[in-house]
Amino acid sequence: MSHSIPSFPTEVVGALAADLRKRVRGEVRFDHGSRALYATDASNYRQVPIGVVIPRSLDDVIETVAACRHHGAPVTSRGVGTSLAGQCCNAAVIIDMSKYLRGVLSLDPARQRAVVEPGCVLDFPRGKAEEHHLTFGPDPSTHDHNTLGGMIGNNSCGVHSVMGGRTADNVHTLDILTYDGLRMTVGPTSEDELEAIIRGGGRRREIYAGLKAIRD
């Protein structure tokens, strides 16, 4: 039997799945078993997703978002599902970063910075940093399996965040992708840089101008 998903008729789901399989090198799972597995996180919430994509590369993530945008499907990024308030559950296409996008790309002890992929488990870079007598301050109780992407999304804390700050206090820059396809690096921005971005126009200007309005 086939079951339609609310707001997503069976034929639309089928077309989306076929499109994703053409575009994505990673795993595309729209079977009932996979959808059931990703319907929950560490909370009591349960929402069956449209389907699941497990990207092998950042290009897969970009293609997944583009396909979902084309078919009008929402997306939800997911690490390993340790969220306690249903943040990983949605009637959307779930993008699971934890299987392939889990590397520590670089570690610079002198600048006290690491570059990681979103599915990187917290203890991976912490283990490397400890070789240089450094650490990453926020440490939820799930530190040996929660991902840094999830920590950023939830602004995770942990008992040592009193000493080292929350996750937001320990993130320097982010490489982000918006639903409408804009990819950009965001981070510390001076007033002069902010005004230059706003003068530059385009979608980036809209985002920064909106954030400036909220701040002001």
Average pLDDT over residues 166-185: 96
Report how far residue 177's alpha carbon sits from residue 66's, in angstroms, rounded to the nearest whole number.
Answer: 10
CA quadruple 24, 27, 33, 34: dihedral sign? negative
pTM of the prediction? 0.91
Is the pLDDT confidence value at 173 over 60? yes
Higher pLDDT: 119 or 11? It is 119
Report domain extents, the chain.
10-96, 104-173, 182-215
Render pLDDT for 71-124 as a digit per residue (tens, 0 to 9): 999 999 999 999 999 999 999 999 999 999 999 999 999 999 999 999 999 999
Annotation: CATH topology of 10-96: 3.30.43
The closest of 18, 101, 5, 11 to 62, measured between CA atoms, is 101
pLDDT number for residue 162: 87
What is the predicted pLDDT for the residue at 2? 44
The tens digit of pLDDT for each residue in 20-70 reads 999 999 999 999 999 999 999 999 999 999 999 999 999 999 999 999 999
- Could you tell me whether strands 183-186 and 174-177 are parallel, antiparallel, or unpaired per DSSP bridges? antiparallel
Can you tell me the distance from the alpha carbon of 85 to that of 144, in angstroms, rounded to the nearest whole number?
20
List, in order, residues 6 or more apart from 63 with CB less than 8 Å away.
20, 23, 24
The pLDDT, as a whole number, for residue 197 is 97
- The pLDDT value recorded for residue 160 is 86
Task: Cite the beta strand spans of the chain per DSSP E.
Answer: 27-29, 51-54, 75-78, 93-96, 104-108, 113-116, 174-177, 183-186
Position 7 pLDDT exceeds 70: no
CA 165, 169, 170: angle at the middle one, nearest 5? 95
Mind listing the pLDDT tens digit for each residue in 122-171? 999 999 999 999 999 999 999 999 999 999 999 999 888 888 899 999 99
Rg for the chain (alpha carbons), in Å? 19
Nearest to 155 by CA among 64, 83, 211, 203: 83
User: What per-residue confidence (pLDDT) applies to 151?
Assistant: 96
Does the pLDDT at position 3 exceed 80? Answer: no
